[in-house]
Structure 1
Amino acid sequence: MPAAASQRPAAPARPAPQDPPPPAVFLGVRHHSPACARLVAHVIRTLRPAFVLVEGPADMNDRLDELLLGHQLPVAVFSHYRDEQRVATSWTPLCDYSPEWIALREGRASGAEVRFVDLPAWHPALADRTDRCANRYADAEARYAEATRRLCERLGVDSADALWDGLFEVTEPDTDPEELRARLDAYFDLVRGDAEADAGDRAREAYMASWVRAALARAGDRPVLVVTGGFHQPALRALSAQPGAAAAPADWPAVPEPPSGALGGSFLVPYSFRQLDAFAGYQSGMPSPGYYQRLWETGPTAAGQGLLRAVTERLRARGIPLSTADLIAARSLSEGLARLRGHPYETRVDVLDGLAGALISDDLDRPLPWTTRGVLGAGTHPVVVEMVAACTGEAVGRLHPDTPLPPLVHDVAAHLARLGLADATAPVTLDLTKDGDLARSRTLHRLRVLGVPGFTRVSGPADGADPVFTEVWEPRPAAAAREAALIEAGAYGARLDEAAAALLGERVRAAGPEVGTLAGLLFDTVLCGAGPLCSELLETLAARVGRVGDLGPLGEALAAALGLWRHDRVFGVARDRLLGAVVGGAADRVFWLAEGLHGAPGADLAALRALASARDALRHAPDLLSTTPETAAEAAARISRDPRAPAALRGAAVGLRWSLGVPDEPGPMVRALAASAVDALGDWLTGLFALAREEVAHGTAAEEHSLIDVVDGVVSALPEADFLVGLPALRQAFAFFPPRERERIAERLLRRRGLRGSARSLLRTPADPLLLARARALEENVTRLLDRHGLGTAPITRTAPAATPETPR
């Protein structure tokens, strides 16, 4: 070799080719599936992954230690979000057999780093699942329902739940976990197919895939396990295998945060099997959590026997007959159905079908609930109700004592302790004229508005005009439910007054143009003492009452505002300027709408109440209205003469004039109505009495000729058939009089007939007067029918008894 050549540096050695990093292992699961939970535990123990990525809210990653404190399951991650445009709440429930829970627990135990990888539950991508019963695990089964339906037809089962049980939950005892995993992959690939996910799911899947790529970059030569709902598995596998995925940055994806000005967060809350059950409205997972808890703990044989025993105990506890022979028949049917359907053990549906076949002999007007999904409807057979309840179970979760709680929980505890309500066991009576009791009342009303159980109001003022100044509250033992409700209410604020005001404000915005809803919210707001919110609500009401086109809701708002404006010194809003604006605007609008109202026969009681409230506004707050008593009386005169106006409204117009001191002579109107349409007479009187009951009662008590005398004369002269037609409307009209005034009217009618007797007993008929009237009409119809056929005129002869010494002929 030449010297020069021997002195050249050696070429650098080429690096040995490295094996590609192990791919991610994707486990598609069904949420709350014992079979999937067992598979997850097996894969983690076998695979020993570096990372376990779990479908769940990524904003909980810094608090996984809190989640694994040692709670009594079920519990849920409650997530909330609120800004000026949107309010979102969501629950992520976990029970003993949830695959996600097993992934968290077993992943930690194996030394893996565990991460939630889904978008936070408040994120707009999940906005379509944020109603009251919404759940982040509610994957869009509707998009692959067709594939599931075809599988059900092919395998001869009624529902997707029965299909799942037969394929995965109740299988041969020696089924290889890898075989189960392959079957799950095939199932989810089939049911997802080429269905296009919606924009929300696409955003979620893209975000979860970014976590998978980051985990692969950080894992080195160790595997990554990804546990998500089966619907997402095919998409995640494809997204993670895209070119460049292996070179993805190792930094974890950023966790989205609420925008500036918005409030959001997550807390753990106790949950229950009742909340988890599909039959109670839960959108995802399996129904009958109590049964699946038994399946998880004891296996399929003991689970079926336990379900049979639970149903038996519930039926017998409620007095529903259940013999030993019935149980033997149910057991035989269940076993036979399992063999017929090819199940190695009895499934949940086998047991339920066997029980239904043995215990229900009635014809059912609807499918059995376990053949479908949804909430049990009214009229469900009582045996079916108890069977479903036995499947649900009674489990209620409990948080570990060291679990961090939102500030509202501590604020409420301090309030109740300071006010002496924390340990109340007897009814609490409050005098609202005393400052201390008023503070207690406001605290209890704020809890009521937030839906926090613990106290129930049994009496108290019903509106601002109610002359009641005491309230009675009864304590209700509901410690676990109260804690969960308080944690969820913490989404609205850290203090009780702040949270109640925020919730009421949300309801005000949600009410939109519904003025009647706002009227109810107004009194709730006053009871809670939500000062600034009350002003906001009153401004909203004042702006809207001038545009309302329906007398009923307008009258509700007017009555509520007028009662508070006149009387509410207890709650501090009497003579409020904004309340006055609501009263004036609503009353003016009532008079304007009433004059142009035309409609069908019958009495619109809501419209009559609106006119009565406008009359009261004229009487007690005339300075708030632009309408004067004179102009109101003139408008009423026009209404009373308008033939297109309903009879009840015309009667109310006459009553309005009478109550304003401008009486008309009602006698000719009564006679004219009775001659033209007797049913309209009752409607007319209903309107009259609604507006001028006190004036009519005063005339009845006097010795002078009264309206009641005119009505009595007209009604007494009616033919029997006309009287029966008009009787329901007449009864409705006289129902406006309280019992004492009805008794005075009865006394006057007895005197007119020269009769003596108790007017009070006359009002206490042994049966409904309408029923008596129908019975009399039936008798007359029978008599006419007999007369028509010559059977009713012959005298009835009786056979004389035989002569005896004691009975001469």
Structure 2
Amino acid sequence: MPGADRAGAGRPVSASGGAAGAGAGVPGEGPLLLGVRHHGPGSARAVRAALEAARPGVVLVEGPPEADALIPLAAHADMRPPVALLAHAVDEPGRSAFWPLAEFSPEWVAVRWALEHDVPARFIDLPAAHTLAWRAADEDESAHADREGQAGGRGRGAGRGTPPPDVRDGPGTAVPDVRGDPLAVLAAAAGHDDPERWWEDVIEHRGVAEGDAFAPFAALEEAMTALRETGEDGEGGDEGGGAHGRDLVREAWMRLRIRAAGREFAQGVAVVCGAWHVPALRRRVAVAADRALVKGLPRTKVDMTWVPWTHRRLSRAGGYGAGIESPGWYGHLFAAADRPVERWLTGVAQLLREEDRVVSPAHVIEAVRLAEALAAVRGRPLPGLTEVTDAARAVLCDGSDVPLALVHDRLVVGDVLGEVPAGAPAVPLQRDLARSQRRLRLKPEAPERELELDLRKETDAGRSRLLHRLRLLGIGWGEPAASRSTGTFRETWRLRWEPELSVRVAEAGVWGTTVLSAATARAEADAVAARDLAEVTALAERCLLAGLPDALSPVMRILADRAALDTDVGHLAEALPALVRALRYGDVRGTDTEALAEVAAGLAERVFVGLPAACAALDADAAEEMRRHVDAVHTAVGLLGGTPAPGHGDPRPRWRAVLRTLSARDTVPGVVRGRAVRLLLDDGELAPDEAARLMGLALSPGTAPADAAAWVEGFVGGGSGGGMLLLHDERLLALIDTWLTGVPAEAFTDVLPLLRRTFSAHEPGVRRGVGELVRRGPGARGSVTGAGSGIPGFAAGLDTARADAVLPVVRLILGRDRVRDDDLTGVDTA
């Protein structure tokens, strides 16, 4: 198991095959070398059988020796694999490496056997202190970036780095790379084109014969010896560099540890390691030569602990290169003592039934028969994953790959999340986080789930604060999602715990020993480093969400200073909405926002003063950006008016005056003028007749077509609901219709993209209604919109026939069987 991959978390599982070459078949002729495939259930069963037969005095396992003190925790009642050993540099926690172990990992089985039989167990691979130091050196050498990207060991085999993907035996002839994928070479030699299938046939489906526990290891050691000789001949001997050179250093270190254990334990030594390393560990090398290889290695100070892992992260699809594509299937093979095919297909049927698919016991029986028939036709000893998948597709999924994808995701890979005892070593921040998770009953889980929070409840408010604090620290356990409720007392989160979050927690430990203190320190540092005003205002909002009163004060000081010095109206307008949104949190979270209200009111006043001048002489892109600022400020002022700061009064009248100024200035871009008119009309500050007059002026023949189209965009575009306005106001629709039909042909092509963008934002039903009105023409529009009351879109009296038609629906909505008609249709027409 070499060091980490470039993502910082991957146990570089080796490329060599599985249950390889134990040290010669008879224990007592030197160390018992049990070569394995990492995460191979067949290797795990063979290791247990060999240890039971040999009864060694010590068990040595490929892994970082800094973890020796953590081995006893493997026997803890609360330890449930998959788990991983996590090593991280003390001075740079982000530089880390994982060594994952599943229940079916041979290393895990060896450790558990040793603990169950009171036999010492030790890790003998190169220390993580050297592995992480090597990694840091690689990252510092940009010239070797490509090689470093391959150094994570993403092959199938037994704990070694990954060389180039293939070598060529001649012009145009590609053969599997012996060092990169020994499994593929062995499979090809046996006449198989699929290494995974060959491995299943040879190892996973093979039982360990009684009295012959060492035979498979001896056979695979012989095969690996031949492969290494071939690879070394092709590479010019053992003097290669890169990943190969580091393999030599690791193997020298392991030989030294094996010799030391042999001197200490007379009862015998058993070594569980990647099969590729067995020939090198068997080789007789002078002690002085091994010591020379490991002398002067770079090192760094590291901490180690156990962390939970997931089946999904054991899959190569997860990017960690653990060497198996189907951890759920391998776990099933290891756990199913008998009838693995029947049990697997029964589980598939249960999953499909939970998804409301019709699957009967007869389907399962037929699928088992088909899987066994396919195995017989293909010459396999037992049905493998390929056969049970084909049978499930044909019989249980009706030939569809859609439900089969669900089976692959939930069963073949799976979302199993391991557990680690509370007593495992951890940084103080991790311990505080674990306490908070238990107190708030917020358990980390691998599958993604949605969490609805009611902030009026103490527990839910605490959960919200914890999740927001973790986001401030860069620990993305939860991501906010759109809530089904519009109330500010509701929050929706999507939660999913990923193993690499343990690294993020270790990194965040530099900010404090508790989540609260760390988030506070991080917020203060981020406020000082913020590049613009919007970042500081967003940070103030996050401090309120996270419940960080100690951080809010310095953030507000920095915010006030930045706001006083920033003269860019766009920056001020961009910063105001976040501040005003934050003011609303005081009602639900009980946060004192008086200082925030003072800054927000001052910021709003500066926007009011500078906005008209800032809207002059803008190009199309800048005008559209300013229109978005106007929308945001309008929403913010509406919220701010409900909670005005002491001494400032209601800002809404002042804002309306600014909108009137914008709507009347010819130097203001059309899209901003149109939006100002629309906002005034929606607020009832502008009469419909006056809005129609302003539109008529904007769409008059003297206005350039492009500017007129921009005015229309501002008035009815941008998802503002302008389409409904056109449906119910015949005059406005007629003005746009008349202007559009009068646009000169040479200018129509220029304004068409803007108009398409304007009307494409409307709902399909609205677009269809507007199109119907235009098709009917001005004379027939009254039949759709209604007229006669003087108010466009409304008739003079109540249409009782149309009202009666909706009464059943209203009763259904209200949930009342009997509702008096007078309650629903009574209208005071006095």
Query: Structure 2-normalised TM-score?
Result: 0.59
Native 8 Å contact 1:431 1:438 kept in 2: yes
Q: Cα gap change, 1:733/1:417 in structure 2, threshold over 3 Å: closer, same or farther? A: closer
Aligned to 1:670: 699
Q: 1:342 aligns with which of 374, 379, 388?
A: 379
Q: 1:295 aligns with which of 330, 333, 341?
A: 333
Q: 2:199 aligns with which of 164, 175, 181?
A: 164
- Post-superposition offset of 1:37: 1.9
- Aligned counterparts, 1:383-398, within 5 A: 383-392=404-413, 397-398=418-419
Cα offsets for 1:595-644 (capped at 9, x unmatched): 54434999997565456579899998999xxxx999999996999648xx
- Post-superposition offset of 1:325: 6.0
Q: Is residue 31 from structure 1 mapped to residue 38 from structure 2 by the alignment?
A: yes
Q: Cα gap change, 1:614/1:96 in structure 2, threshold over 3 Å: closer, same or farther? A: closer
- Aligned counterparts, 1:713-732, within 5 A: 713-715=734-736, 717=738, 729=758, 732=761
Native 8 Å contact 1:49 1:224 kept in 2: yes
- Aligned counterparts, 1:696-715, within 5 A: 711-715=732-736
- Post-superposition offset of 1:492: 3.7
Aligned to 2:256: 213
- Post-superposition offset of 1:560: 0.8
Q: Cα gap change, 1:126/1:503 in structure 2, threshold over 3 Å: closer, same or farther? A: farther
Q: Is residue 498 from structure 1 mapped to residue 517 from structure 2 by the alignment?
A: yes
Aligned to 2:132: 123
Aligned to 2:776: none
Which amino acid in 2 is paired with 1:291?
Answer: W
Native 8 Å contact 1:515 1:554 kept in 2: yes
Q: Is residue 529 from structure 1 mapped to residue 547 from structure 2 by the alignment?
A: yes
- Aligned counterparts, 1:37-436, within 5 A: 37-42=44-49, 44=51, 52-77=59-84, 79=86, 81=88, 87-88=94-95, 91-107=98-114, 109=117, 111-115=119-123, 117-120=125-128, 123=132, 125=134, 139-141=153-155, 143=163, 145-146=165-166, 147=176, 148=181, 160-171=195-206, 174=209, 176-177=215-216, 178-183=218-223, 206=249, 209-210=252-253, 212-217=255-260, 219-220=262-263, 226-229=271-274, 241=285, 244-245=288-289, 256-258=300-302, 265-273=303-311, 276-277=314-315, 283-298=321-336, 302-322=339-359, 326-327=363-364, 329-360=366-397, 362=399, 381-392=402-413, 397-399=418-420, 407=428, 411=432
- Post-superposition offset of 1:682: 3.8
Extract unaligned runs of 5+ from structure 1. 1-20, 130-135, 259-264, 365-380, 701-706, 738-745, 767-809
Q: Give the distance between the partners of 1:583 and 1:80, measured in 2 at CA.
A: 51
More deviation in 681-690 or 331-340? 681-690
Which amino acid in 1 is paired with 2:620?
Answer: H
Partner SS, residue 339 of structure 2:
helix
Partner SS, residue 122 of structure 2:
strand
Q: Give the distance between the partners of 2:742 and 2:399, measured in 1 at CA.
A: 43
Native 8 Å contact 2:111 2:121 kept in 1: no
Aligned length: 674
Q: Give the distance between the partners of 1:665 and 1:204, measured in 2 at CA.
A: 79
Aligned to 1:756: 796
Q: Cα gap change, 1:361/1:295 in structure 2, threshold over 3 Å: closer, same or farther? A: closer
- Post-superposition offset of 1:34: 1.5
Q: Which has the larger radius of gyration?
A: 1
Partner SS, residue 92 of structure 1:
strand
Extract unaligned runs of 5+ from structure 2. 1-27, 140-149, 156-161, 167-175, 444-450, 649-653, 767-784, 807-830
Q: Give the distance between the partners of 2:247 and 2:354, measured in 1 at CA.
A: 47
- Aligned counterparts, 1:13-24, within 5 A: none
Aligned to 1:651: 674
More deviation in 313-322 or 139-148? 139-148
Q: Give the distance between the partners of 2:208 and 2:250, measured in 1 at CA.
A: 38
Q: Cα gap change, 1:638/1:82 in structure 2, threshold over 3 Å: closer, same or farther? A: farther
Native 8 Å contact 1:326 1:358 kept in 2: yes
Cα offsets for 1:691-718 (capped at 9, x unmatched): 9x9xxx9xx9xxxxxx978624414647
More deviation in 605-614 or 265-274? 605-614
Partner SS, residue 751 of structure 1:
coil
Q: Matched residues, percent identical?
A: 22
Q: Give the distance between the partners of 1:59 and 1:284, measured in 2 at CA.
A: 21
Q: Cα gap change, 1:168/1:486 in structure 2, threshold over 3 Å: closer, same or farther? A: closer
Native 8 Å contact 1:50 1:219 kept in 2: no
Query: Structure 1-normalised TM-score?
Result: 0.61
Q: Cα gap change, 1:199/1:687 in structure 2, threshold over 3 Å: closer, same or farther? A: farther
Cα offsets for 1:89-146 (capped at 9, x unmatched): 65433232211112323345474451253444993556799xxxxxx99623264544
Cα offsets for 1:496-535 (capped at 9, x unmatched): 31344477789999x9979988765543332223356557
Partner SS, residue 182 of structure 1:
helix
Cα offsets for 1:327-346 (capped at 9, x unmatched): 45533442233234432222
Partner SS, residue 322 of structure 2:
coil
- Post-superposition offset of 1:60: 2.1
Which amino acid in 2 is paired with 1:571?
Answer: T
Q: Give the distance between the partners of 2:235 and 2:664, measured in 1 at CA.
A: 69
Which amino acid in 2 is paired with 1:685?
Answer: F
Q: Give the distance between the partners of 2:350 and 2:579, measured in 1 at CA.
A: 54
Q: Give the distance between the partners of 1:591 and 1:216, measured in 2 at CA.
A: 83
Please provide the CA RMSD for this pair: 6.8
Native 8 Å contact 1:555 1:609 kept in 2: no
Q: Give the distance between the partners of 2:442 and 2:372, measured in 1 at CA.
A: 55
Answer 1 or 2: higher relative contact order, Cα 8 Å, separation at least 6.
Answer: 2
Q: Cα gap change, 1:319/1:218 in structure 2, threshold over 3 Å: closer, same or farther? A: closer
